[in-house]
Amino acid sequence: MRDGAALGAFDVSNMRLKLIRTGGVAGLAPPPVVVDTAALPEKEAQRVAALVAEARFFHLPAVVRSRKPQPDRFQYSLVIEQEGGRRHAVRCDEEAASGALCRLLHAVQTLKNLT
């Protein structure tokens, strides 16, 4: 098991993330992206854990909506599960996501090729 002490409660070796993106101009939905940090190089797993912590993901509400939805924007559904049963799901409009949440969403999308 990797040392996650510097990251607080995040055990980077046992985090599973599932991202679903919908919406956009054509409304095409790519397949879900599933990332298991145990399958990532340690540096990448630590980066993901840091992004989860920075976004305060486990403290976000289940739905993050824009006050003024914009047409043709993406919607994201991100579920993170940790060993021991800790699980949280967030559905958000692209334009309502904080900078930290956007960085996490982007990282998960780019990691799909590493797992």
Residues 75-96: tens digit of each pLDDT? 999 999 998 889 999 999 999 9
Pairwise CA distance, residues 69 & 95, whole Å = 8
Q: Are 84 and 16 in contact (CB under 8 A)?
A: no
Q: Is 101 in a helix, a strand, or coil?
A: helix
Q: How many domains does the chain have?
A: 1
Render pLDDT for 54-73 as a digit per residue (tens, 0 to 9). Answer: 999 999 999 999 888 777 78
Cα gap 48→86, rounded to integer Å: 16
Alpha helices in the chain (DSSP H): 42-54, 99-111
**pTM beyond cutoff 0.75:** yes
Q: In degrees rounded to 5, what are phi and psi of residue 39?
A: -90, -5
Give the span between the Cα atoms of 107 and 59, in whole angstroms.
19
* Domain, as residue range, for 48: 5-111
